[in-house]
Amino acid sequence: MHDPEGAQDSERTQEPPPAIDPPAALEGADGTAPARPRRPRGRTTLMIAAAAVLGAVAGSCAGYLIQADRRPTALPPLSQPVVPQATGEVEPLSAAQDRRVKVDGDLRKLLVERPAGAQDADSAPGRDGWLDQAAYAEQYTQPSGVFIDLARDGFRRSAVTSWQVGETHTVDVVLTQFRQEENPAAKNWTELVRKSNQDGGGIHSWPIPGTGDGRVYVHDTPDQDPGYLPVYTARAYGWRGDISMEISIDDDKPISKAEIMNLAKSQMGKL
């Protein structure tokens, strides 16, 4: 027989099955609706890159096919015609093309010409228009020191022209050429001589146009020794290349700026 109490006991002792939690993948971390799956990245980029590569390849192939159907463009030959070699010596440059032709010749030909009516000076330095190293040094108050300085700077040669106008107006123009193997000796010598002749008062100075640092000096105060006439002086100094220029004008009367300036410009123009 069926025992109703046993059945009731069985119903009382039987427990409901435990509730199953939903998977974490179907529910958010905070209990909200489940998250949607992510879309893979990189496919669009790969497709664009592949399309670009295919486009470049297709363009290259199309260009090649177009060029293949065209006729080749005629180009000039790479080799040039053979020029026959000249025989004999090369013709030297003229003085207008090469300054060395002019300055390596007769240095006396570069001296300015004396004015009309001028006569030979009574005490012209040098001999036949030339000054050797010793004769050049003798023009200074300390010739031995000047001689040594000239040897150190590479003295090569010196040309001179002198003239006299009237009884007391004398002019000397000296061109001194240096070898200039190690330094700009002509420039250095010009500066040295110029500084040594700037002593005393009453000196006026002006630049020689077109010469860089060439200058003329006019002394308003004369040199006067007892028993002698007063001596007014004017000087000009300049250089070009390896040649130094010195001009001296002496007179017992004041010397004008125009005279020394015009003479200096004429002489520098011949260099």
> 124: domain CATH number?
3.40.1000
Question: Worst-scoring range by mean pLDDT, 13-17, 49-53, 112-116, 228-232?
Answer: 13-17
Contact at 8 Å (CB) between 139 and 124?
Answer: no
pTM value? 0.64
At residue 64 the predicted structure's pLDDT band, cuts being 50, 70 and 90, is confident
User: Does residue 184 form part of some domain?
Assistant: yes
Q: What Rg value do the Cα atoms of the chain yield, rounded?
A: 52
C-alpha torsion sign, points 146, 148, 152, 156: positive
Is the confidence at residue 32, as pLDDT, over 60? Answer: no
Query: How far is Cα 180 from Cα 144, in angstroms, rounded to an integer?
Result: 22
pLDDT of residue 17: 55
Sequence-ordered list of residues with C-beta below 8 angstroms from that of 246, at least 6 positions apart, any chain: 172, 173, 174, 176, 190, 193, 235, 236, 237
**Mean pLDDT of the chain, nearest integer:** 82
Into how many domains does the chain fold?
1
Kindly list the distances between the CA atom of residue 174 and the CA atoms of 14, 124, 149, in Å, as whole numbers in the listed order: 143, 11, 17
Strand order in the sheet with 155-165: 130-131, 155-165, 169-178, 243-251, 232-240, 215-219, 203-207
User: Does residue 191 form part of some domain?
Assistant: yes
User: Does residue 111 form part of some domain?
Assistant: yes
In the block, residue with structure tokens 């002006």: 206
User: Does residue 44 form part of some domain?
Assistant: no
Contact at 8 Å (CB) between 236 and 217?
Answer: yes
Quick one: average pLDDT of 48-56? 76
pLDDT of residue 190: 94
User: Does residue 28 form part of some domain?
Assistant: no
Contact at 8 Å (CB) between 154 and 181?
Answer: yes
Tokens coding 227: 């028993």
Domain that holds residue 251: 99-270
At residue 43 the predicted structure's pLDDT band, cuts being 50, 70 and 90, is low
Number of other CB atoms surrounding residue 57 within 10 Å: 10
DSSP annotation string for 184-203: -HHHHHHHHHHHHT--SSSE
Q: Give kind and range of the element (H or E) at residue 171.
A: strand 169-178
User: Does residue 250 form part of some domain?
Assistant: yes
pLDDT of residue 26: 46
User: Does residue 51 form part of some domain?
Assistant: no
Tokens coding 119: 């006569």
- Report the DSSP beta bridge partners of residue 204: 218
Sequence-ordered list of residues with C-beta below 8 angstroms from that of 128, at least 6 positions apart, any chain: none
Question: Worst-scoring range by mean pLDDT, 6-10, 118-122, 223-227?
Answer: 6-10
% of the chain exceeding 70 in pLDDT: 79
Q: Convert the pLDDT of each residue in 170-190 to its tens digit.
A: 999 999 999 988 889 999 999
Q: Convert the pLDDT of each residue in 102-153 to its tens digit.
A: 678 889 999 999 999 899 888 888 888 999 999 999 988 899 999 999 999 9
Q: φ, ψ for residue 46 (rounded to 5)?
A: -65, -40
pLDDT of residue 241: 92
Contact at 8 Å (CB) between 232 and 254?
Answer: yes
User: Does residue 148 form part of some domain?
Assistant: yes
